[in-house]
Structure 1
């Protein structure tokens, strides 16, 4: 008997992506906790944010050090519509190139409530060091202090500002213009790609990076895909992300979730997806990629991490797949830029 293997081209096998990775299973058996596990007194949200920020700032410093001085980091403030500013980190090659590079903009995750620009330092330093990109890790104001649609408008305003100031930053958008995000950041990117298309952003985006994205509300699935949308229920009590932890107040993103599947397609750009097989968000990423590729002729590339949970590279960085994920991210961004190595 030939055992079935999981394939993105065969939705009936998607559930097999959830078969827990042996190395991760061993880590759990051995009591290896998530990097964010905390056994002290309960922390307030500001204290939790401060703890995460310190952790990721240390990571970013180590990543910069690992470039051996080839990549620099600059903190900038970008103005948004209500007079506030949002923080961003800009990564450039330290040697001045003869030609300006493409622009890569990435939004961090953190469930809309936690996170900072340093979280995407790995992707940004990688894109800068490998392809000469001007890479921007972009923040947005967090919930619950800032209700919907503040995070989305912050990201949109910053996207416009960066596109208009690209040359001053050292970028040439004709060389490539990539917009992406991880988890909550990818959730923000999705509708803004649609908005960029409808409002005729010039020059247009050339690539979209979506990592472990929440992309579809169950009520907005078409009949074609309802039977394929199984992971939210099957993995609701899984690792890292659960149905309880994903149940944000409706003001956080309910208006964005009201968009239909077709509303978020943009066949004018290439899409790179990273999907975790043991993630309750798995099927919405696979469905979205399938819709783009089969029904809209979109150019897509997908990497699925079999048997691994949501953002495993953050929660269990000692897992061997973390290095694979890092390499995949840089290669995927290179594919979006048309600059594979």
Structure 2
């Protein structure tokens, strides 16, 4: 790591939170501390925002056995009939922590800068709501957006996107794979997926043909951003079978026909090679891709 960056991270007040839930700290205590870390980022983005340039509305989406909140961020326009592309967003947090506020200020900035509607999904969290509940909640939210596009000032033809960060990137990739084969999307297909440092395969289920390329989990096992041990801990709590495609979209027999993918990974992250390998698999299946390390 660059020495200047290493020194800066070492003095960050919340550096200890990046390694997962510290020993002796409850999950609820960890979540409260993590919110403080997010607040620092939010202050940065809020300085760039002008509230007159967007509107925010919180709504609820019906899921299999209840309801979940979503937050809708819509750019403002002088034209009352203006419609926008939409990004359905899933936050990170190891499927265990996070909420609508986690990426809120950042998403408001993106909505204004890129002129698109963002639907931020507050899927239910493990361990109270283990796999497949976070996935199924996320999938239901994407279909809800498709059903209510006109009410949301959304034109699906302009863009019907899913995206997420880390665990949220996992959810977005898994949603994108299932949507390819769902008749619901036959006349309104997803047009893109934005996967930021996604997990796409369980460490116990990496196919032999990818083992030589899947090196970052060991190389970066002590990463400051997310150690490998924290990934394993999160997967154990999430409770998915290592070979379930709702967790491991890399294991699909074919990836042809999934929506175009923009993938970002970090060079010193344990999940780096998940994204690199997934981009390669999609590209070789004929899917338009772009990868940034």
State the TM bucket, normalised to the shorter chain: 0.7 to 0.9
SS across alignment from 2:257: coil
Check 1:251–1:212 CA distance in 2 against 1; reply closer, same or farther (3 A cut): closer
**2:198 aligned partner:** 213
For the residues of structure 1 that align with 2:7 and 2:43, how far apart are their CA atoms?
A: 30
**2:220 aligned partner:** 235
Moved more, 87-96 or 73-82: 87-96
Q: Equivalences for 1:292-303 in 2 at 5 Å? A: 292-293=282-283, 295-303=284-292
Gap regions ≥5 residues in structure 1: 1-19, 305-341
Report how many residues are paired. Answer: 280
Check 1:257–1:103 CA distance in 2 against 1; reply closer, same or farther (3 A cut): closer
Check 1:251–1:127 CA distance in 2 against 1; reply closer, same or farther (3 A cut): closer
Check 1:216–1:183 CA distance in 2 against 1; reply closer, same or farther (3 A cut): same
For the residues of structure 2 that align with 1:264 and 1:36, how far apart are their CA atoms?
A: 40
Conservation of the 8 A alpha-carbon contact between 1:102 and 1:172? yes
TM-score by length of 2: 0.85
Conservation of the 8 A alpha-carbon contact between 1:64 and 1:72? no
For the residues of structure 1 that align with 2:237 and 2:4, how far apart are their CA atoms?
A: 37
Gap regions ≥5 residues in structure 2: none
For the residues of structure 2 that align with 1:87 and 1:133, how far apart are their CA atoms?
A: 20
| Alpha-carbon offset, residue 131 of structure 1 | 2.8
For the residues of structure 2 that align with 1:178 and 1:199, how far apart are their CA atoms?
A: 16
Is residue 20 of structure 2 the alignment partner of residue 35 of structure 1? no
**1:48 aligned partner:** 30
SS across alignment from 2:162: strand
Q: Equivalences for 1:1-341 in 2 at 5 Å? A: 20-28=1-9, 31-33=10-12, 35=14, 37=16, 42-53=24-35, 56=38, 59-60=41-42, 63-64=45-46, 66-69=48-51, 70-82=53-65, 84-97=66-79, 98-200=81-183, 201=185, 202-247=187-232, 248-249=235-236, 251-254=238-241, 255=244, 256-257=246-247, 260-263=250-253, 265-293=255-283, 295-304=284-293
Conservation of the 8 A alpha-carbon contact between 1:64 and 1:71? no
| Alpha-carbon offset, residue 53 of structure 1 | 3.8
| Alpha-carbon offset, residue 250 of structure 1 | 6.2
| Alpha-carbon offset, residue 111 of structure 1 | 0.7
TM-score by length of 1: 0.74
Offset from partner CA, 1:241-297 (integer Å, 9 cap, x none): 12221113265332344655344725342211110100111111111111111x212
**1:317 aligned partner:** none
Root-mean-square deviation (CA), in Å? 2.6
SS across alignment from 1:157: helix
Check 1:115–1:178 CA distance in 2 against 1; reply closer, same or farther (3 A cut): same
Conservation of the 8 A alpha-carbon contact between 1:210 and 1:274? yes
For the residues of structure 1 that align with 2:215 and 2:84, how far apart are their CA atoms?
A: 41
For the residues of structure 2 that align with 1:153 and 1:41, how far apart are their CA atoms?
A: 31
Conservation of the 8 A alpha-carbon contact between 2:126 and 2:237? no
Conservation of the 8 A alpha-carbon contact between 2:176 and 2:259? no
Conservation of the 8 A alpha-carbon contact between 2:48 and 2:109? no
For the residues of structure 2 that align with 1:96 and 1:62, how far apart are their CA atoms?
A: 28
